[in-house]
Every structure is written in structure tokens, then in C-alpha cells.
Amino acid sequence: MQNIKYYYLLSGRLEADIRNYGKFFKFTKDYLNKAIITNNPNDIKDNAIVVTHGYLGISREIFINKRKDIRLLVLDNPMLNNSNFDAFRIQDNDLRILEVPKDIDAEVEINMKLKFVNNYFKNVKLKEFFINKQKGLNINISFPHGELIKLISSSKLKKFNKKIRTMQSKFNFNIDNTSKKKAILRLDKYFLPSKYSNSSNYELDINNVPYYVFAFQSAMVHKFQLIGCDVVTSEYNPFHSNINWHKISIEERIDYLINLYIKRTFTGREFSKYIIRLAKK
């Protein structure tokens, strides 16, 4: 095991910090030395490697105030819920979704991810469904994520919203908006949630599936890609691709989605190799 210097920044949310750091330590302890754990951004020097989880609390504070001065790695939940093995996705200090470099992946990791995601997509029950070409769906960007995107480039959000309006005008469809259950609507001065929506999770009606689907960053979009809807995503969506999902076969859709999952999902060992290589730069 090679020792490197890096920080793990706690968010200040006790329950979440215990859960998230516990998972991180469990996933990396066999390959990576322990991090310097802190909840004070002032402890962190310029150019330091900083690992944190999510976009709330102190994690958000350091992103806003120091992201240009450090090498920030933001851990987030895996693209698909999974309890079979260690997995998470990673974003950098511009919230770009990182991919596992080919020189650090390993056959055992690839096979492990492949087995899980292949079973997942093959077991998704694609019953007979009716796609309504007069209907669209916009999966709202999460408030915490969206506000940080504006710091990076507000034009990207404007461009995405313009795309929605242009397509709606061109193809003349009605559009619904949805958010995940209990979506965060407001943060307090400590960057912690102070207001949640009352919305419930979106339920797909197989008799009235929206044909046009827009998802700036929601991984929920993969179900519509699998069905073959006309999907528009941004580079901040883990399932982002410029593929015309409605023009290819179900087998091809599954293969593309599997490939996206494998490339953008890190195991503990893959992440450990990645951060060790980063420390050498």
C-alpha cells in the first residue's frame, strides 16, 4: 500500500458523515492509506487532494470558495442502486463526471460491474407500452446541483432550457415536470436543506409513456433511454450520450447503457488507483 497525503472533508451532517465516511473507508481500506479527516476548509492547503461526499454543508462551502485552488473529488451515489459491491461515481471541481481510466481498471472489477448491470437491465420488465408522441417530460435538475452549475457556467443551463422550448415548439407536445421524492427546494445559511418538496417519485404509466424526455442530470432517465424515447441530457448526467435511443434496437440500448455504467462507476480499488496516480502529478 502506497501512502499519499489527501483529505476527507466532512460535510457537518453527522448522520450522513458517519454513513458516507464509513462506506468510503470500507471500500478503500485495503488499497489506500487513511485520509486526513477534517471539517474545517481552512485546514486544507492549495493544490491539496480533497475527497468529500455530495454538495451540502461544508462540502458545498469548499466547492464555492476553494474549488479552483484544490483538487476536489466529489463522491456521489452510484448510477444504479446497488448493495452487492462497492460502487460510486465521482465528479471533479467542475462537476464533470469522471470515467475510470483504461490503465487502472481491472478485469475483476469490470466483470463484477458487468454482472450486476447486465442483470439489472435484463430484469427490467419491459412490458407492452404505448409511447405518446404528444407528451414530454422534464426531470427537474436538483436545486443543490443546479445552483452549483450556475457558478461554473450559467449558459449551460440556459442552453438546455432553450433546447426544451425549441423542441416543444417544433414538435408541438405537452410537457410535464417531475422531481424526485422530497426534492430539496431551499438551503439555509449553513448550506443545509431547509425546505423539501411534497412530490412523490415519478411513476411510469406504460399506457402513456412520454416520447420526449429531458434530464439535465437525473440518472432516472435511463429507463426512458431503455424504452427508446427521444432523450436529451447534459454532460452532467451520468447517462449522458448523444445516441438516438429511439433509432436503435433494445439490445443495442442495453449494450450502450451497460458500457456507460461500467465506464462511470468506480469501485474502491479503482478509486484508490486513481487518487494515487493523481497524487503523483
**21-44 pLDDT tens trace:** 999 999 999 999 999 999 999 999
Burial label, 180 (beta-carbon count in 10 A; 0-12, 13-18, 19+) = middle
Q: Which residue has 436503435 as its cell numbers?
A: 248
**pLDDT value for 64:** 94
CA distance 195 to 197: 7
Closest by CA to 59, choosing from 24, 101, 26, 104, is 24
The per-residue DSSP string of 9-20 comes to E--S-HHHHHHH
Domain ranges of the chain: 7-99+266-279, 123-263
* Pairing of the two strands 131-139 and 184-187: unpaired
CA dihedral (2, 78, 156, 10) positive or negative: negative
Helix/strand/coil for 36: strand
Residues 6 or more apart whose Cβ sits within 8 Å of residue 122: 254
Q: What's the pLDDT score for residue 17?
A: 94
pLDDT at residue 127, rounded to an integer: 62
For the chain, which ranges sit under pLDDT 70?
A: 1, 83-85, 125-127, 200-201
Which one, of 22, 16, 14, lies nearest residue 268 by Cα?
22
Phi, psi of 84 (to 5 degrees): -85, -25
Query: For the chain, where are the alpha helices, taking DSSP H only?
Result: 14-28, 57-66, 107-123, 143-171, 222-227, 250-263, 268-279
Give me the pLDDT at residue 275, please. Answer: 95
Q: What's CA 161's distance to the chain center, in Å?
A: 20
State how far the Cα of 252 lies from the Cα of 114, in Å rounded to an integer: 15
State the Cα–Cα distance between residues 89 and 99, nearest whole angstrom: 8
